Structure 1
Amino acid sequence: MTIEISAVTRAAKGTGASRRLRRSAKVPGVVYGAGKDAVSVEFDMKALFMEFRHEAFHASILTLNLDGKKESVLLRDYQMHPVRNTIQHIDFQRVSATEKIHVKVPLHFVNADIAPGVKVGGGIVAHIATEADVSCLAKDLPEFIEVDLANLEMGHSVHLSEIKLPKGVEFVQLAHGADVAVASIAKTRGGAAAAAEEATPAA
């Protein structure tokens, strides 16, 4: 999935200028990185939000059309209005084809319904993490990472080391020796109570 966003360079800077931009349905932003100067830009608020609402916008290489010239960028930061749910400011980082990037990628959990801990044990899946930090070249960046729960037993967890990654991609935490859990199956409250009753001898 290729996402392209359009922007124009903005000359006016500062809080007052940004406020005027927002009143005219524009979003102020900055593009930086790849050894080039940072550039202040502005986006059409509606067109930007239409792309922003997609999950892929937050963890994919985007194509920025700035003043007619295209370059590859990553979303790095944004501020939302606390009430209106509109984008107040947004930052993008230019991407180099030869340098590895660190990006938080969404985790998509599959086969929870057939996991033994759920199907047989009657447990529920607890999502300990919904995204993970990966390191890779821009061309290898996955839109999401699939976590297969098909063999997960009651009381067990899935760790980063057990997740199959695309070629050229690695988990940052795992590379630093932190094999954290991302999902587990636990007993439901009702199941725990029933188990306790079974374990208690009759009076």
Structure 2
Amino acid sequence: MATKLIPIEATLRAKAGKGAARATRRAGLVPAVIYGAKKDAVLIAIDPRIIMRELHKPGWRSHVYEVKAGDVSERVLMRDMQFHPVSDAPIHVDYQRLAPGHKVHVEVAVHIEGEEVSPGIKRGGVLNVVRHTIEVTADPENIPEIFTADVSALDINDNVRWDDLKGTEGVTPTNQTPNFVIATVAPPTIDVEETEAAAPEAAEEEKK
């Protein structure tokens, strides 16, 4: 499974430091840095609309971006994001450079499918997603976009585990627990207030 690349257009920044970063923001762009793989850091600036577009996509932490700025082209992961404390607008982004053959840790989102036909859910069971994301070690050329958990066959008290997921080929979970649980179908919940209200009535009925 080849890693899907998402292109991002950026511009190069000549200077580092707070003053240069503020100047970049005044120009309507977000300062960012590409680091890692034993190479010098590259300073770039990105349109904030591009960043927000990617943040609104599910599973962005495992998306691989191909950033192009001038004569620079790098494959990266979006690692850290700083936001303005009032406006919540992005004010700085850290990208980790990917190097072929050097595995990386990524968080991959879990997609649930089959809820509408699950026997347990149809009988009133409640789907409990234990892990919405899973951290794994993967080769940069084989980073999955999502893992898929199929709950269509689950009855009450059944579960989906790591070995049941789709899309895990070639990656290793960092969780050391063997075949850990991803999602379960729990028994129907009982309204506590209704139960307490019914208790005195049941007691009276027994006295008759």
- The verdict on a shared fold, with TM-score over 0.5 as the criterion, is yes
Alignment correspondent of 1:149 = 151
Equivalences for residues 1-203 of structure 1 within 5 A: 2-55=5-58, 57-120=60-123, 122-173=124-175, 176-190=176-190, 203=206
For 1:68, give the aligned amino acid.
Answer: D
List alignment gaps of at least 5 residues for structure 1.
Answer: none
Q: Distance in 2 between matches of 1:124 and 1:193?
A: 19
Q: Distance in 2 between matches of 1:76 and 1:178?
A: 27
Q: Deviations over 1:98-145 (max 9, x none)?
A: 12221101100000122221112x112122221101222122111111
List alignment gaps of at least 5 residues for structure 2.
Answer: none
Larger CA deviation: 104-113 vs 187-196:
187-196
Q: Deviations over 1:46-71 (max 9, x none)?
A: 23333333235431211010223322
CA contact (8 A) 1:105 1:133 kept: yes
For 1:43, give the aligned amino acid.
Answer: I
Give structure 1 regions of 4+ aligned residues with deviation exceeding 4 angstroms. Answer: 191-197
Cα RMSD after superposing both structures: 2.7
CA contact (8 A) 1:27 1:42 kept: yes
Percentage identity across paired residues of the two chains: 29
CA contact (8 A) 2:61 2:106 kept: no
CA contact (8 A) 1:3 1:51 kept: no
Aligned pairs, number: 199
For 2:96, give the aligned amino acid.
Answer: Q
CA contact (8 A) 1:25 1:46 kept: no
Q: Aligned with 2:128: secondary structure?
A: strand
Q: Deviations over 1:172-196 (max 9, x none)?
A: 21xx235432212223434788999
Structure number with greater Rg is 2
Q: Deviations over 1:144-177 (max 9, x none)?
A: 110011222213332223324443122221xx23
